[in-house]
Amino acid sequence: MSKKAFIFDLDGVIVDTAKYHFLAWQKIAKSLNINFKHEDNELLKGVSRVRSLDIILGLGNVQATQEQKDKWLIQKNEDYLSYLVDMDESEVLPGVLKILKLLKDKNQGIALGSASKNARPILEKTGVLSYFDVIVDGNDVSNAKPDPEVFLKAAQLLNIDPKNSIVFEDSVAGIQAANIAEMVSVGIGEETILHEADFIFKDFAFIDENFIESLITK
């Protein structure tokens, strides 16, 4: 059986930490009198913390010094981490464990490719860290998606050709990054948003063994 690289984004793919990011960013925005709504949070998917802050400041036409930005970035991360304290296995999204176990049983390469700088503690708290052969997160890369650096690095560490790699993503930027890297892109979420993906599923519960088998043998 051929060995492929299966690369997973974290937020919105393995676990739903988007809600915690939203609460932390909303707290910052509120302190700056910026009306930050759930639909605005879509703009931050797959985007680095620094770029996310710039987007929020842009929504409120707020100018800030680098010193102020640094202070808000630290505050946002502290608030976000406080929400993660009570995370456990129940936070893993539907169908994810089934797919991870299947890929492990089939001796496939499994990697995380995420902009999050808190990926390891999140995977540990939710009990899925041991499934991953390689973890590439925001601490390991300098370019944010849609730059494909995070996925290319994951494939390289797995010693698998990018063209033999499959990416699971819930963001437009992530899908674009996978496509730029000439990897198979699998969107997890809404078809209207992720229409650039090669395949789209509402969540992992809709992905079966036959589909995974077809990706391995393709």
- Catalytic annotation, residues: 9, 11
Q: Cα separation of 185 and 113, whole Å? A: 13
Supply angle C-alpha 29, 34, 36, rounded to 5. 70
Contacts of 18 (CB under 8 A, 6+ apart): 11, 12, 41, 45
Q: Which long-range contacts (CB under 8 A, 24 or more apart) does 190-199 make?
A: 193/42, 194/169, 194/170, 196/172, 197/169
Q: How far is CA 49 from the centre of its chain?
A: 13
DSSP code, position 159: T
- Token pair, residue 102, equals 């299947």
Place of tokens 């304290």: 85
Dihedral of CA 168/169/174/175: which sign? positive
What are residue 136's DSSP bridge partners? 113
118 φ, ψ to 5°? Answer: -115, 20
Judge whether 49 and 77 are in contact, CB under 8 Å.
Answer: yes
